Homo-oligomer: A and B are copies of this chain.
Amino acid sequence: MLEYKAPKREIQFLLKDVFHFEEHYKGFPNGQDLDGELLSDLIDGISEFAEKVIAPLNQTGDDESCHLVDGKVITPSGFKEAYQEYVEGGWPSLSHEEKYGGQGLPHSLDIILQEMLSTANWSWNMYPGLSHGAMNTLTEHGTEQQKQIFLTKLVEGQWTGTMCLTEPQCGTDLGLVSSKAEPMEDGSYKITGSKIFISAGDHDFTENIIHIVLARTPGAPAGTKGISLFIVPKYKVNDQGESGEFNEVHCTALEKKMGIKGSATAVLSFEGSQGYLIGRENKGLTCMFTFMNAARIGTASQGVCAAELSFQGSIKYARERLSMRSLSGTKYPDQVADPLIVHPDVRRMLLTQKAFAEGGRAALYYMGQVLDIKESGATEDARQTADRRLGLLTPILKGFLTEVGLEAANLGIQVYGGHGYIKEWGMEQIVRDTRIATLYEGTTGIQALDLIGRKVMMDRATELKLFISEIKEFCGKYGPFATSEEAKRMRMFTKPLGILMRQWNFTTMKLMLRASKDRDTAGAASSDYLMYSGYILLAYMWALMAEAALKKLAEPDCKDERFYKAKVKTARFYFDRILPRTKTLVKTMTASNKSLMALPEDDFIF
């Protein structure tokens, strides 16, 4: 069975040496308490829960999957009990407002801790995970009464929540939503319609489930401008917050999926269910977008989780499995063959997984700090600056990290050879579970359009240029006039990164110019542009990590030389073997649009 071990050494490196979280937290409400000790305690607590309680349920959850019996969803053995333990530990409430029972801690803490739960068992963690979406929506847009009644129960974990957006005829294009919401005399709405792909849409964890539902009121404008948002509990809730009679939210089917089988993906039928408007009528989509960034960063983390878990499995196998001899001479003469890890091509696969896992984690932490500032920064200016940075980087993180996470998971199968294809080893499950990450919360294509269209071109690349400046400034520290030993070694990274900054800027300008003449340019370049940006972002993360490691190595009493040297070597691998992917991407994204658009629709197949 595949085991999970929380990468605590990696986490501490990022917290302390790279991103200095203790200092960062000092500027935030309740952040003063978040010193190194408390952070370590939280990490120890969640990692133990992740390793011992939910990781062992990962493969069994996949085997058993969820079942719909007499209209009720039965989750895999142990899932429900694990959730109880999670709630008793007070984990759901960390980053939510104290007024509603939360602990008011910065959002980044959730990102840090959730990664461990998600890597241990992504399917299980979707149940509490989806609740965060519902809680964030209520926090931002709910009335005081709605918060008192619904939010408090969600924060304590007594209920869970969902987000009900997709319908059979529309996923990406929410303008086509057709569920109906008819106003009632008592101020509530009667909700009717069918929703699909509802994660944690029904289960046996809690006595009630709070659905956040997109629907149209009578006479609402067509398209996205006529969509409103509603709270629809599975069981009606009275003013004292007690769950009562069934609210006609029927789970009519569970989807049969490629993976995340422990997670119940429900088809829900709202049959005249009582709902409560959140925010204003017809402003539903705007309300949704306010928490979209957080949800997308959450999904981005799935790429990191996949890379981490598949790396852990691969490294173990590569050191144990004996096959062939090293081409540069036998390494283990006492054994019948050398272990896989002596072979350069196996090392290439392992290092790719490692580079994506550790680089991706760094990107999540970087974003976590931006998110903290956006939410609770000291000044309005700081909050808005962070919001723009968040807007630019979110589609890159979501699109890029999920794509490379899937690549890493596939490499995990590849390292195992034929055994990778067999269920019991656990590697193929990672691929199946992760395959959805590039689809939900907006496909990679949608992230790519969001990035190049909204976040870059419509912004006239203003925020992109600021980000480029930040990286340029970082590189500038190690320019040709810096003569320290550290600077000399850092130039191996900052020199190519600096060149890429010019290329990123220039290529963006070129595409913007072309887009002003041919509207298909943004779409034609989008996916390659996204991936290109992602490889650069990760290069920046690896350069930051290399810098932190070299600083530690320069300390006279460096205690952990091997760890820090490994960081520098992995950074070098990334720059030598992964970053050159930008060479292809810069070429393909600037190729003529004709190569995509010239073929008539009817002539794709004969």
Contact = CB atoms under 8 A, between A and B. Distances in A.
Contact of A570 (B324, B336, B599): B599
Interface in A191-224: 197
Contact of A587 (B431, B448, B583, B591): B583
A415 to B, nearest CB: 9
A337 B258 contact: no
A360 interface: no
A438 to B, nearest CB: 7
Contacts of A417: 171-172, 439, 443
A258 B566 CA distance: 34
A520 interface: yes
Contacts of A562: 600, 602-603, 606
A527 B411 CA distance: 12
A581 B580 contact: no
Contacts of A435: 410, 413, 421, 428, 431
A518 interface: yes
Interface string A420-455: 111110001001100110111001110011000100
A584 interface: yes
Contacts of A606: 7, 9-10, 562-563, 566
Given A348-B527, A606-B10, A606-B563, A576 B598 contact: no
Interface in A319-359: 319, 322-324, 326-329, 336-337, 339, 341-351, 354
Nearest to A258: B428
Given A347-B596, A519-B328, A423 B258 contact: yes
Interface string A399-422: 000000010001001100111111
A256 interface: yes
A125 interface: no
A595 B587 CA distance: 25
10 contacts: A10-B606, A257-B422, A258-B428, A341-B604, A344-B596, A345-B445, A348-B524, A562-B602, A562-B606, A577-B596
Interface of A: 7, 9-10, 166, 169-173, 175-176, 197, 255-259, 311-312, 315, 319, 322-324, 326-329, 336-337, 339, 341-351, 354, 406, 410, 413-414, 417-424, 428, 431-432, 435-436, 438-440, 443-445, 448-449, 453, 518-520, 522-524, 526-527, 562-563, 565-566, 569-570, 572-573, 576-578, 580-584, 587-588, 591-606
A518 B326 CA distance: 12
B173 A323 contact: yes
Contacts of A453: 327
Contact of A596 (B170, B348, B584): B348
A424 B256 CA distance: 8
